[in-house]
Amino acid sequence: MTIRVIQWSGGNVGRHAVAAIHARPGMKLVGMYVYGESKDGRDAGELSGIGPIGVKATREVEKILKMKADVVIHSPLPSLVYGEDPEADVDTFCKLLSAGKSVITTVGYLYPKVHGPALVKRLQTACIKGNSTFHSTGLNPGWMGDLLPLTMSALSNRIDEVHVLEISNFQHYPSPEIMFDMMGFGKTPARFRKDAARYSHWLTSLFRESVQLVADGLGVALDDIKAKTTRVLAESDLETAAGTVKQGTIAGQRWEWSGMLGRRKVIRHETVWRMHDSVAPDWPRGNHSVTIRGEPNMRIDMRPDWIDGGLISTAMHAVNAIPYVHAAEPGIRTLLDLPWMMGRGLHTGIRTGART
C-alpha cells in the first residue's frame, strides 16, 4: 500500500521532506501547499532542489483539501510567532483533519493538553469528523528533551531528577534573520519585550509541553511548571557572523522550564544561548546533555556538532513518523501514544558486507 502525502510549506524543513518522501518506497507525494506567489504552480521537486517530479505546488487551500491524500506534513514558520493570526496553524490543522487527512506538524503542539481542554476538544472533534490523526514532532522538542530521557529512564530503578541542558554559542551562525529578528539578540531589553513577546510565548509553550510529556511518561503528577528567563547585555560591541551586537543590547539568554513537585525541581529543561564566547562566563559551558539523577545516575553528552543538520533531522522525524501515524487510531496521538519509531528503509544503498 502506498501512503499518499502532501507537503504543507516549501521552506527549509519542507524541501527536505519532499526529497525524502519522493525517494521512499511506499510513499508518494501528491501535493504541495506554498505561501509565496512566486512558487505557485511550480514543480514541487524543483522547489526542493531535486528536479521535476510532476507535482505542482499550489496556494489554493481548497485544492489541497479536495486532494486524495492520507497524510500532510505541516512545516511552515509557526503562526504563534509569524503572521497576523496566531491561530492560523490550529485553523489549518482542523481543516485538514476534518477533510480526512492526518497531520504531522513541526511547529509545536507536541502535547496539546498543555494548551487546555478547548484546544484538545477542537483537535479531537476534527479528527473524529475526518477519521484522521494528529501528531507533532521535531528535534528539540520532539526528540532530545523528551524521547531521549524517556528512553534512558528504562534503565532506572529510581529517578530523582531529569535535567536536559542545551548550550549554544551563535558567534559563527550567519543568519541575522534568526539571531536578531526571531530570537531577539542585539535588542535593548525594552525592545526585546515588545518585539519578541510572541516568540517568547511560543518558546515557553514548546518546552512546557516537553516537560509535561516527560512527566506523564514517567507517571509523575507535577504541581506546576515554572518558566524563568535571564538575559545579559553586551559589555562592548561584539562582532559575530550575523552582524554586530551593540554594547548594551542582549547578548545572552538563559531559559529554564521546571516541572515542580512542591518546591523541588524534578524535570528541568535548561537552554543557554550566547552570541559570543565571551558572554556570561559564569553560565554553564560544554556539551548538550541529558542527565538522570537517581539509581543509577546517568548522563549522555552531545558535542555542539553532534548533528550537522537540524533542519533535515526535523523533517526526517516527521517523514519517519508517516507510517506510524497512518496506522494509528484517529485522534491526537503524541510521542507517548505511538510505537517506538525507527527510520525504516533507509539503508538500501549500503554495500553488502560493509563494515559497521
pLDDT in tens, 301-322: 998 889 998 899 999 999 999 9
d(CA 184, CA 253): 9
Task: Give pLDDT, residue 305.
Answer: 86
Task: Give pLDDT, residue 353.
Answer: 38
Whole-model pTM: value is 0.93
Task: Give pLDDT, residue 350.
Answer: 43
Instruction: With a cut of 60, say whether residue 346 has pLDDT above it.
Output: no
Nearest to 315 by CA among 102, 96, 12, 99: 12
Q: Which domains does the chain carry?
A: 3-139+311-332 (3.40.50.720), 147-304 (3.30.360)
pLDDT in tens, 176-190: 988 999 899 999 999
d(CA 280, CA 233): 9
Task: Give pLDDT, residue 129.
Answer: 98
**What is the percent of the chain where pLDDT is above 70?**
97
Task: Give pLDDT, residue 67.
Answer: 98
> Vertex 316, ends 354 and 312: CA angle to 5°?
90
Taking the CA atoms of 7, 13, 18 and 24 in sequence, report the sign of the dihedral they define: negative
Task: Give pLDDT, residue 167.
Answer: 95
Q: How confident is the model at residue 348 (pLDDT cuts 50, 70, 90)?
A: low
Instruction: With a cut of 70, say whether residue 347 has pLDDT above it.
Output: no
Task: Give pLDDT, residue 343.
Answer: 86
d(CA 347, CA 25): 12
Residue 5, strand partner residues: 29, 71
Helix (H, G, I), strand (E, B) or coil at 55: coil
Mean pLDDT to the nearest integer, 19-35: 96
What is Dmax (Cα atoms) for the chain? 61
Instruction: With a cut of 50, say whether residue 352 has pLDDT above it.
Output: no
Distances (CA, A) of 285 to 184, 223, 352: 21, 30, 42
pLDDT in tens, 68-112: 999 999 999 999 999 999 999 999 999 999 999 999 999 999 999
Set of cell numbers at residue 285:
559551558
pLDDT in tens, 43-59: 999 999 999 999 999 99
Mean pLDDT to the nearest integer, 273-299: 97
Taking the CA atoms of 246, 273, 79 and 211 in sequence, report the sign of the dihedral they define: negative
Nearest to 33 by CA among 99, 127, 85, 108: 99
